[in-house]
Amino acid sequence: MQTNPTSNLQMAELVAEREQSSYESERDIGSLSLVIPVYNEVESIEPLYQEIVAAVEPLALPWELIFIDDGSSDGTTRKLRDVYVRDARVQIIEFRRNFGKSAALAAGFEAARGDAVVTMDGDLQDLPGEIPRLIDQLNLGADLVSGWKFPRHDPLSKRLPSIVFNSVVRVFSGIKLHDFNCGLKAYRREVVKEVRIYGELHRYIPVLAHFRGFRVVEIPVQHRPRKYGRSKFGNGRFARGFFDLLTVLFLAQYTRRPLHFFGWFGVTALGLGFIINAYLAIIWFLGHPIGTRPLLTLGVLLMIIGAQFVVFGLLAEMIASTKTDRDYSVRRTLGRRALDGDLAPDDGRLER
């Protein structure tokens, strides 16, 4: 039985058109989760909630609002519960003590069910009115939209260290963002489910997402002076942030091949040690004493250190080989069709 090539071509074009249409509709945001960590922000809770409702309702999307109470002690918990009682879309996650912003965001990301997840600080400096603009960027194809506080209404003592911090991160990461640490961000669901944060790595979520292959964009957003309370972060965070940056760069590039990192140090040290000891061996064969030369100690020490680096790398490779986390990120899979009677599993997403 012969097949019609023209018919097959038309069928292929029809399938491609349907898959493209399905992909485009899949990329549109259908529901929204707002994740807001708060710590001793009692005066901000009610006006923040009112602004969020005013900004999100016109989007005509199912939405939820997740507050993470990071061990507040000033009445914030009571205020949050008042909002929770009035609005069924509000969730509260209460920590037993202050665990930090990264832990709060991780808890919120785990609870979020929307196609898009928007984060912002709870101090009213971020404007909820910017949320529709962030969602628009996601609908245009971005995976992560990072806000750029411009102009920034903070004291010079906060702006100057931030400028230095952002410049350093840009240089080392290669990502051209102006404001890595802006709390106002929007993510596709898959980003927050794949990117794991702990410690104080919340500053580097755009870097972690970029290295996973997600598309990261930045837009300027409005910023307000702090009206209530005081900042919970001191200048010491920038020193800690430098070590976190080293952690992020190492995890992004060498998690699955640690020997490539340790091996360079090991091979370099071994090579220098070998050259030094070979030189001393030649001198010894020529009849010159080398036992009291400091260069002998240096040569032996370099070879020992080099061998240790190589062993460290091999041990790290053994540990890395036992990891079950996948080290790749899948955007979509086309071509598989559900069998008759198959049911899609409940993935916990918000429904219209």
Q: Of 310, 314, 306, whose CA–CA distance to 275 is shortest? A: 306
CB atoms within 10 A of CB 255: 15
C-alpha 29/C-alpha 14 separation (Å) is: 25
Q: For residue 342, is it within any domain?
A: no
Locate 41 and state its tokens.
Answer: 């922000």
Domain extent at residue 212:
21-254
On the CB side of 170, CA atoms within 13 Å amount to 11
User: Any idea how long the chain is?
Assistant: 352
Q: Which residue has tokens 């910023």?
A: 223
On the CB side of 334, CA atoms within 13 Å amount to 11
Q: For residue 332, is it within any domain?
A: no
C-alpha 203/C-alpha 197 separation (Å) is: 9
Q: For residue 31, is it within any domain?
A: yes
Question: Are 235 and 297 contained in the same domain?
Answer: no
Q: What is the β-pairing status of strands 116-119 and 216-221?
A: unpaired
Question: Are 196 and 309 contained in the same domain?
Answer: no
CB 180 within 8 A of CB 252: no
Residue 192: φ, ψ to 5°: -70, -20
DSSP H helices, 112-257, are 131-139, 156-173, 189-194, 205-211, 236-254
What's the pLDDT score for residue 27?
66
Question: Are 127 and 74 contained in the same domain?
Answer: yes
Q: For residue 65, is it within any domain?
A: yes
Question: Are 184 and 234 contained in the same domain?
Answer: yes
Question: Are 138 and 285 contained in the same domain?
Answer: no
Task: Report which DSSP code applies to 79.
Answer: H
Kindly report, residue by residue over 271-292, the tens digit of the pLDDT: 999 999 999 999 888 888 888 8
Q: Which residue has tokens 């008759």?
A: 340
What's the pLDDT score for residue 129?
95
Q: Of 132, 98, 104, whose CA–CA distance to 118 is shortest? A: 132
| Ordered per-residue pLDDT tens for the chain, 352 residues | 455 555 555 544 544 454 454 444 446 899 999 999 999 999 999 999 999 999 999 999 999 999 999 999 888 999 999 999 999 999 999 999 999 899 999 999 999 999 999 999 999 999 999 999 999 999 999 999 999 998 887 788 778 888 888 888 898 888 999 999 899 999 999 999 999 888 888 989 999 999 889 999 999 999 888 887 676 655 566 667 777 777 777 777 777 778 888 888 899 999 999 999 999 999 888 888 888 888 989 999 999 999 998 888 888 777 766 666 665 556 665 554 444 444 444 556 676 6
Going from the C-alpha of 319 to that of each of 126, 263, 313, 324, the distances in angstroms are: 42, 16, 10, 11
Question: Are 45 and 170 contained in the same domain?
Answer: yes
What's the pLDDT score for residue 249?
77
What's the pLDDT score for residue 338?
44
What's the pLDDT score for residue 346?
53
Domain count for the chain, please give it: 2
Question: Are 176 and 277 contained in the same domain?
Answer: no
Question: Are 229 and 309 contained in the same domain?
Answer: no
Q: For residue 348, is it within any domain?
A: no
CATH number for the domain spanning 112: value is 3.90.550.10
Task: Report which DSSP code applies to 126.
Answer: B
Question: Are 167 and 303 contained in the same domain?
Answer: no
Burial of 297 (0-12, 13-18, 19+ CB in 10 A): exposed
Task: Report which DSSP code applies to 128.
Answer: G
Question: Are 231 and 109 contained in the same domain?
Answer: yes
Q: Which of 195, 230, 254 is the last residue of a domain?
A: 254
Question: Are 215 and 228 contained in the same domain?
Answer: yes
| pTM exceeds 0.75 for this model | no
Q: For residue 330, is it within any domain?
A: no
Q: For residue 99, is it within any domain?
A: yes
Q: For residue 338, is it within any domain?
A: no
Question: Are 302 and 153 contained in the same domain?
Answer: no
Q: Which residue has tokens 């400028």?
A: 163
Q: Which of 254, 275, 291 is the last residue of a domain?
A: 254
